Structure 1
Amino acid sequence: MTLTTSTAYIGISILTIIAVGISAAAFFRPPEAILESMAEVDVKESWLPLLGTLKAAGAFGLLIGIGVPVPSIGTAAAVGLVVYFVGAAFVHIRAGDYSVSGQHVFLLLAVATLVLDLAS
């Protein structure tokens, strides 16, 4: 069995959709760990619904990009997620948080999705 770029794109996209979707849902009813992490990097709790909505929109855009013959939707969603998670990494770095954490994993998934999307 040969793994094609298109198959890899669909697999990584599904993984990204699930991971980012779960993360988005957590922002609407955040556990204490998320609230503490956001407080440490000076993100107000009132921003969580907007941030969750942006994540959910990115995950939904990837899902649409897989399901409909308009590949630019998936590409735009992947670009949006990359920008979102670069911004998240920047916010953490600006606050002096240099640890490798969730936003880095999500950034890697978003970048992998974008690269495979562009390659397929």
Structure 2
Amino acid sequence: MSTAYVVVTVLAAVLAGFSAASLLLGAEWTVKPLVDYGVPRSWWPWLGAAKGAGAAGLLVGLLVPVIGALAAAGLVLYFLGAVATVVRARWFSHVAFPLVYAAPAAASLVLWF
């Protein structure tokens, strides 16, 4: 396991965990865009839980690598879904935000191989 993999994986876990916490705690700068994008409020706890599980999976993956790879893949898919939601809502200026969170998860997955 390389140092780059560990650093990128921990960064991805911190970002996903931060994103999960900000959603679950109802931070205005996180939930207001979800309202603007038309994401139903009933989905928010599930979305936050998915990000939190992905963050935990990345950290567990430092000990059980296949779990980390699956978590990274799941987070990449999650944030690509977020990009699709932003595009569907026609908020093109916001597309970069989910990509910021997807990039370290994708890098972690690439470094895993």
Give the TM-score range, shorter chain: over 0.9
CA distance in 2, matches of 1:63, 1:43: 28
Q: Which residue of 1 aligns with 2:32?
A: 36
SS in 2 for 1:96: coil
AA matched with 1:117: W
Runs of 4+ in 1 over 6 A off after TM superposition: none
Aligned residues: 112
Q: For residues 90 and 104 of structure 1, what CA distance do their matches in structure 2 show? A: 11
Task: State yes or no: 1:54 paired with 2:42.
Answer: no
RMSD of aligned Cα (Å): 1.3
**Do structure 1's residue 112 and structure 2's residue 107 form an aligned pair?**
yes
Identity of aligned residues (%): 42
Considering only CA atoms, is the larger Rg found in Structure 1 or Structure 2? 1
1:102 shift after superposition = 2.5
- Return the match for 2:90 from 89, 96, 99: 96
Query: Structure 2: which 5+ residue stretches go unaligned?
Result: none
Tell me the TM-score normalised to structure 2 length: 0.92
Q: Distance in 2 between matches of 1:53 and 1:60?
A: 10
For the 8 Å contact 2:23–2:31, the answer to whether it is kept is: no
Question: Gaps (5+ residues) in structure 1?
Answer: none
